[in-house]
Chain A
Amino acid sequence: MARKLLSSMNLPASTTSILSARSLYSAKDVLCKTELELMELLDIPMAVLASTLARVYESVCPPYRSVLSLWVERSTSEVSGGHLPTGLHELDHALCGGIPFGLITEIVGAAGVGKSQMCIMLSVLAAMPRAFGGLDGSVIYFDSEHKFSPGRMMEIAQHRFPDIFSDREMLQKLALRVLILHPTSVAGLMESLKQLEKAIIERSAKLIVIDSVAALMQSEFGRDRIFERQELLGQQASMLKFLAESFRMPVIVTNQVRTKGDNQRVGPTSTTSSHDGLNIGASLDFGEVGLENHLTAALGTKWAHSVNVRLVLESLVSGQYFIKIAKSPMSPAVAFPYRVTKGGLELDLDSKSSFHVKKEEHEYF
């Protein structure tokens, strides 16, 4: 809407010509100036300016929807209530059905906890026909770390659905549905994202995976170029959100962890004086379950604001893996033990550690 042309807004011809003479062509050009600046620049009476602006506001302002109408639309038209089930039943239950459509879901974890495994598993699930709980669509998979293994995908598919994938033909069908892209630079990734709309429509894609969003960013932008990086991350988040919402599809991104510096824990000065250090920052700590406290998601707070759902995969010293819902507009903060098997990720609810989890659940509900 920002690029909407002023000439398309039915403004009086005289006004339009004044605007274009001052090289104001789009809504953005006008609305990025204060009223006084505009008056100074355009040299027109206040009343004319006011009516011009009113017209511009009106044509740029998107229409409103009542939440009821959105709800009716979603609950009648969407598969499994607008979620991609992960197949991990307790997790699905906590997430109200699975990975939500229209939002960015981030999977964070240290190396080797199974982030890429989870992405591959979810790709298989999204490509499955509706009858088997899938989304019956193709998957666009950005693999910036070259971790995607087609063999592993086949293995997961065969172990999960041994009946369906008994012959080569079905496996081939599945494999054809997953489009792998290898962006080599941040600019390349951004460019692909810009072009993605067409690909999504053509291939009727139902899932976008970016594994990982941190790898390229961190290799290209050192600490000295942090502002540039933040700017790009913001744009990337904006684009992903736009795609997720426009096509009502889930977007999954993975992120790495890094060691948390001590000074990360400091809160606003005015408040720290009265409290003993606020636990602010994209911290993963979850004291009760005793997960590792010194790690935090990479890419900083701004990115953390941009993701809507954050799932954290962590491993304990004991070798037990946990998946935790660290941020979600829907779900309480719960954690489940899991293990990586031939069929992808599986919940491991029999192990001793589930005791803590139940206690946690009790507190939040």
Chain B
Amino acid sequence: MLLPLVHLYGPGVWRQEEEVLMDVVALPLPPSLRSKLQAAGYSTIDGSISPVQLARDVSITHEEALGIIKLVPSFNSTRIGFVSSGSADFGGQSAWDLLRNEKARRRIVTSCQELDSILGGGVCTKEMTEICGVPGVGKTQLGIQLAINVQIPISLGGLGGHAVYIDTEGSFMVERAVQMTESRVNELMKKASVDSQLKVNLENLKREVNVDHFLSHIYYFRIHDATEEVAVINSMEKFMVDHSEVRLIVIDSVTFHFRQGFDDMALRTRLLSTLSQKLMALAQKHDLAVVVVNQVTNKVTSEGLEVVPALGESWSHACTNRLILYWNDGQRLAYLFKSPSLPNATAAYDVSSRGITDAAYSYKKAKYT
């Protein structure tokens, strides 16, 4: 038996009897109900109170009373949803467990070895990665490439998952996706044909690795305003029910519709942070990678104009990883600017007819490390 005099998860205070006192103000209640509770003298609610008693005290229906009590987290209910390895750890995990899980996480390769290596092997599932950069540097290209690469079968070292592509700008080019898929599929089949184990099952593999199969598993949403963007992201939870194979959601770009028609900047910030929370939750729950493309904007600073990712400071906290793409001397470079587990680093990449590739010529590495 625990003596949890610990302050845990929010404003509840744990007591020995495995019940919790919740502040009425902290419960998500309709204002009318809340004021009734307060008028009846309930500033806190005890999770073990009887619904009938509560209904009588506050003069509300039994159903309403039960609804209120259900909102108070009980000791048992907080444990649901956590992977608990021990008995008395509140559903927490040790850092060791976390490390082990992290190692087991799957990554989507980018097709550029150098870029993969600064990302620790590719774009990680269960995380949100932001790609930002100047126009024409290859943000959309990288997005399309990832949507293709996520489908590489497990036997070839991939994830064998499907992809959702949410296009807000209309920059997704079907022809380009076809072109890139063709060359990717050819490469994969070539790789398989020299592998001693895979060689035997080449015909079987072909059923999975072909252009039509790849293209039919990129689910494309074209949206035209911010309202639709909110709706699509909120509908993803439901979409996952029928499409549990999805391992990647690309949003290209999250910015476009939020950069016009918003007079109220506080509202924009609130909406964006809600969206990013929803996306994070999706990534965690369904073990998928979320890639958001962001535009850049000019910011006036004391030193003149500066190019910064759009959507402001609060948004920059939302993403787990931030990758900045830019040009230098005619070479495309990617700079990992923010990551919880990896050092900041730069990688060179190219965009060719095959898609994202290793940089054609080695640039002066010493300059950037």
Contacts and interface: CB of A to CB of B under 8 A. Distances in A.
A361 B203 CA distance: 36
Contact of B270 (A34, A65, A242, A287): A34
A21 interface: no
Interface stretch (B5-13, B50-58, B116-124, B218-226): B218-226
Contact of B327 (A56, A279, A308): A279
Nearest to B163: A67
B281 interface: no
Interface residues of B, number: 89
Given A266-B307, A308-B170, 5 more contacts: A67-B177, A103-B170, A280-B327, A301-B296, A328-B136
Contacts of A68: 212, 215-216, 218
Interface string A214-258: 000000000000000011001100100110110000000000000
A43 B31 contact: yes
Contact of B308 (A268, A329, A330): A268
A263 interface: yes
Interface stretch (A84-92, A132-140, A194-202, A270-278): A270-278
A183 interface: no
A261 B225 CA distance: 34
Nearest to A283: B327
B221 A244 contact: no
Interface stretch (A44-52, A146-154, A169-177, A349-357): A44-52
A275 B271 contact: no
A344 interface: no
A327 B171 CA distance: 11
Interface in B297-311: 297-298, 301, 303-309
Interface string B169-206: 11111111111000000000000000000000000000
Interface stretch (A25-33, A117-125, A184-192): A25-33
A298 interface: no
B350 interface: yes
A304 B32 CA distance: 50
A306 interface: yes
Interface residues of A, number: 89
A268 B324 contact: yes
Interface of B: 28-33, 64, 67, 71, 134-136, 140-141, 164-165, 169-179, 212, 215-228, 230-232, 234-235, 238-239, 253, 255-257, 259-261, 267, 270-271, 274, 295-298, 301, 303-309, 324, 326-330, 335, 337, 346, 350-353, 360-361, 367-368
Contact of B307 (A245, A278, A328): A278
Contact of B260 (A43, A238, A274, A282): A238
A96 interface: yes
Contacts of B335: 271
A36 interface: yes
The dominant DSSP class at the B interface is mixed
A131 interface: no
Interface in A150-168: none
Contact of B330 (A234, A268, A288): A288
A343 interface: no
A34 B278 CA distance: 12
Nearest to B177: A67
Given A68-B212, A301-B135, A301-B307, A60 B327 contact: no
Nearest to B63: A45
A275 B328 contact: yes
A244 B219 CA distance: 21
B259 A302 contact: yes
B176 A60 contact: no
B326 A66 contact: no
Nearest to B263: A231
Nearest to B136: A327
A46 B227 contact: no
A298 B94 CA distance: 55
A278 B221 contact: no
Given A66-B218, A327-B136, A235 B337 contact: no
18 contacts: A31-B231, A36-B28, A40-B31, A46-B71, A47-B67, A57-B231, A67-B220, A234-B256, A242-B224, A244-B170, A263-B304, A271-B337, A275-B328, A275-B367, A282-B135, A304-B135, A310-B136, A363-B360
A327 B135 contact: yes
B303 A263 contact: yes
A39 B28 contact: yes
Contacts of B307: 266-268, 278, 280-281, 301
Contacts of B255: 305
Interface in A297-323: 300-302, 304-308, 310
A53 interface: yes
B170 A61 contact: no
Nearest to A360: B330
